[in-house]
Amino acid sequence: MIELKREGDVFVLRMDAGENRFHPDFLAAANEALTEVERAEGPKALVTTGAGKFYSNGLDLEWLGAHQEEFVPYLESVNALYARFLELPAPTVAAVNGHAFAGGAMLALAQDFAVMRTDRGYFCLPEVDLGMSFTPGMSALIQGRLTAPVAHEAMLTGRRYAAEQAREAGIVQRTADEAGVLPAAVELAASLAGKDGGTVRAIRVGLYKHVIAALRGPALPE
Amino acid sequence: MIELKREGDVFVLRMDAGENRFHPDFLAAANEALTEVERAEGPKALVTTGAGKFYSNGLDLEWLGAHQEEFVPYLESVNALYARFLELPAPTVAAVNGHAFAGGAMLALAQDFAVMRTDRGYFCLPEVDLGMSFTPGMSALIQGRLTAPVAHEAMLTGRRYAAEQAREAGIVQRTADEAGVLPAAVELAASLAGKDGGTVRAIRVGLYKHVIAALRGPALPE
Amino acid sequence: MIELKREGDVFVLRMDAGENRFHPDFLAAANEALTEVERAEGPKALVTTGAGKFYSNGLDLEWLGAHQEEFVPYLESVNALYARFLELPAPTVAAVNGHAFAGGAMLALAQDFAVMRTDRGYFCLPEVDLGMSFTPGMSALIQGRLTAPVAHEAMLTGRRYAAEQAREAGIVQRTADEAGVLPAAVELAASLAGKDGGTVRAIRVGLYKHVIAALRGPALPE
């Protein structure tokens, strides 16, 4: 479901569970991988990627439908995963190999940079069309990483951004074709791996202090 | 002064009082129109527009000069109108048919999107040249909707943005000639009218929670 | 070390101490100059510039190494200087004649606008490569003046922006060759000098209230 491999200084976390929705087991495996990266010695950076045509479609709505009583703690566990990325003592790069929707799009935003595949796949926050809202932490994350006009359009219209549109909007930083996405992300990550992890973490945590607080706060608006 | 018509799913709120300054009667009529939109059933979206060469010039300084003792409650009533737009359970589009100055420019910013007329009219925050400041809510609104460099330039220099400049700066999203502004805004609004109003409201209120709090707070800085 | 001259409505504060690092004497002289500008009557604006190939390289790490017990009050005195620029009752323009690094880059960001030299010099926040973090006030200043994607890249990668790259990123507003930087900054400042200083101050303080509070708060994260 989640595979973590180290290639030189770069850890590659590969999600390979279909749409890569956040089943509790998936979240647990992702958290374990992050712990392994945190504990690794020496220069390091993390790349995340999916498989096939999906990066990640976010919340596991099927599981959630069968466990409605766990709605709030489940959302909080997703928010906590985003917070861990923001707190990770290593540079992070999302290799967006395919669709990054909803919670999967936010997973990409929780990382330092993103490289997106040009020929297929969208970055999309479809919540408005699903009758769903965002947790305060998710709103803060999106607002903290995108410009105000882009966050507004993405959240209020559910627009699907293809790679080049996402790059122009500042949602991702680079684009590449299918074969080039992961190598480009690994290259970018490798170029950043020499930075001191503790310093990266301190700067990022300082920059997103209020985002992290919101992600670790209540999942339902007060 | 204010006319509200429904054309299919789109309500068009037309302001037709010269410079469309915010006389208390104008504000009351605008609030009534918003209430009507709020209460309407079914798919809906709202377009606002002015008439002739003015979208709106904002505060009614003449009325204010004759009612100086009402300065603070008057500012709060203007801020409350902006807050109601942010809270409206329907997508909103400003058809900026002419000058949008000061409080009128902020009225456009309080809406989801804006289409601006190319051949005439400016978006301008002239407060700095009028010896006026912004209420904390107004500052928060402008900062919440524009990028930091654009908000700074607009507020500190009083620059007049023509339509194309405003689009490049992310202040408006589309431009059209005089005859095309309202149709383009209605088309955009119609494309968004199918979204669930409660969801639109929940996402927008979550996104601008601190802006709404500032708009509903004291009009004078503490 | 710091020379203040008035040319018509424009004060030019020229830093001429090599790399223009913030020795305590340098900070004291800069504060005196700001006080003189604050007290001046009539239309006024302020331009700051360096000399040779340096605008400013920021913190005086050599002095700090010899006075480690003064680390926190020293950082707070630097933050206080930034706050004074944000509070200055006059428009401000940085003429970035050369390298603007770290605290020197933030000095430029504390001013209303910046003109940057095209043929030499970088805007750079190298803290991540120096094992240094940002004070909460510095984080707030950078975040308050740049778009979210630009602040992230600048702070997390330590990228060196040449003039044209800095202009595209919205870090500076204009560029000019070596001979043209100061004249362009003076021209821009002169065009803004007619604005009422108290109004400029009120608008800027309203816009950056939370930045100023952070700059005047603790230098170490809580």
Closest CA to B95 of B188, B170, B160, B195: B188
> To which residue do tokens 């087991």 refer?
A25
**CA distance to partner chain A, nearest, from residue C152 (Å):** 8
Residues (pLDDT < 70) of chain A are: none
Q: Which residues contact B129 (CB under 8 A, 6 or more apart)?
A: B158, C195
Q: What are the backbone angles phi and psi of residue C19, rounded to the nearest 5°?
A: -80, 0
pLDDT at A156: 98
In C, minimum Cα distance to B136 occurs at C206
Give me the total of CB pairs closer than 8 Å, taking one residue from chain A and one from chain C.
Answer: 59
**pLDDT tens column, C143-176:** 999 999 999 999 999 999 999 999 999 999 999 9
A158: left (phi over 0), alpha (psi -120 to 50) or beta: left
Is C154 in a helix, a strand, or coil? helix
pLDDT at B221: 80
pLDDT at B79: 98
DSSP state of A69: G
Residue from the list B128, B139, B221 with its beta carbon closest to the beta carbon of C195: B128
Q: Which of B139, B152, B221 sits opposite C112 (nearest CB)?
A: B152
Determine the residue of chain A that is closest to C219 in CA distance.
A206
Residue B99 has a pLDDT of 98
Distance from CA of B203 to the nearest CA of A (A): 5
* Residues of chain C contacting residue A192, judged by C-beta atoms under 8 Å apart: 156-157
Of B128, B153, B221, the CB nearest to C199: B128
φ, ψ (nearest 5 deg) of residue B103:
-55, -30
pLDDT at position A221: 79
Chain C interface includes A202 (CB < 8 A):
yes
Residue-level pLDDT at C193:
98
* Chain C residues touching A207 at Cβ < 8 A: 134, 139, 143, 151-152, 155
Diameter over CA atoms, chain B: 45
Residue spans of alpha helices (H) in chain C: 24-39, 61-66, 71-87, 103-109, 127-130, 136-145, 148-157, 163-168, 178-192, 197-207, 209-215
Mode of pairing for the β-strands spanning A45-49 and A92-96: parallel
CA nearest neighbour of C202 among C86, C114, C110, C92: C86
B189 CB neighbours in chain A (<8 A) are none
> Residue B180: CB partners within 8 Å, gap ≥ 6?
none
Beta strands in A8-44 (DSSP E): 10-15, 21-22
Please tell me which chains touch B, using 3 or more CB pairs under 8 Å as the contact test. Answer: A, C
- Indicate yes or no: CB of B134 within 8 angstroms of CB of C199: no
Which residues of chain B fall short of a pLDDT of 70? none
ipTM, interface predicted TM-score of the complex: 0.97
C134 interfacial to chain A (CB closer than 8 Å): yes
Q: Taking the CB of residue A159, how many other CB atoms lie within 10 A of it?
A: 17
Q: Which one of B134, B147, B148 has the shortest CB-CB distance to C203?
A: B134
Identify the DSSP state of A159: P
A117 φ, ψ to 5°?
A: -75, 135
State which residues of chain C have pLDDT below 50. Answer: none
CA A46, distance to chain mean position in Å, is: 12
Residues 6+ apart with CB under 8 A from C75: C135, C219
What domains can be seen in chain C, in order of their start residue? 2-215 (3.90.226.10)
Q: Please classify residue B20 by burial: count the beta carbons closer than 10 Å to its beta carbon, then call 0-12 exposed, 13-18 middle and 19+ buried.
A: buried
Measured over the CA atoms of residue B48, residue B210, residue C211 and residue C87, the dihedral's sign is positive
Q: Does C173 touch chain B (CB under 8 A)?
A: yes
Residue of C170, C204, C207 with shortest CB distance to B143: C207
pLDDT tens per residue across span B32-70: 999 999 999 999 999 999 999 999 999 999 999 999 999
Half-sphere exposure of B57 (CA within 13 A, CB side): 14
Cross-strand bridge partners of residue C101:
C124
Tell me if chain C has a CB within 8 Å of the CB of B217.
no
Chain B CB within 8 Å of residue A133 CB:
yes
pLDDT of A83:
98
Is B151 in the C-facing interface, judged by CB distances under 8 Å? yes
